[in-house]
Amino acid sequence: MTSAPLARRLMAILYDSLLVLALMFVGTVPFVAMSGGQQVESSYLPYQQLTLVIIAWAFFAGFWSRSGCTLGMQSWRLRIVDQNGARPRLMASTIRFFAAVLSWLPLGLGFWWQIWDKDKLSWHDRLSGTRLLYFKKTSEPDSTQAS
């Protein structure tokens, strides 16, 4: 296991973004219904926006603290661990989530930072006390060999 390469991180983010977007569509349905099928009324807008943030937080922090990886991360063989090598707790996952948002704000510099970091950590890795690891595929026995 090694630090996760930037390309793998970005591919997992793309995968997870599609999943979160689908959940956000579902989370928006009640607000559209309350607005009579039209654009969400301005009086409901702050509640809708808060709901969308909660959906994204619950997805990421929930997966990270429960299993150490999201579905996208699992597909790319990535896992988040704390400083002791264990799954991060909910508080560390929450800090990581909001720190990741901050990492995106300056054009993703917080993610690109791992290229220059001596430990290959992003800003949100450092701020949350976690690290994203890549687990290489283990070699499987050749099934063509006779027993």
CA 23 vs CA 46, 53, 56: distances in Å: 18, 11, 8
Angle between helices 45-67 and 6-34 in degrees, nearest 10: 140
Q: Which tokens in the block code for residue 131? A: 């690290």
Cβ contact 40:76 at 8 Å:
no
Cβ contact 132:88 at 8 Å:
no
Q: Which tokens in the block code for residue 138? A: 């283990």
Per-residue pLDDT of 20-62, as tens digits, reads 999 999 999 999 998 888 888 888 889 999 999 999 999 999 9
Per-residue pLDDT of 68-123, as tens digits, reads 999 999 999 999 999 999 999 999 999 999 999 999 999 999 999 999 999 999 99
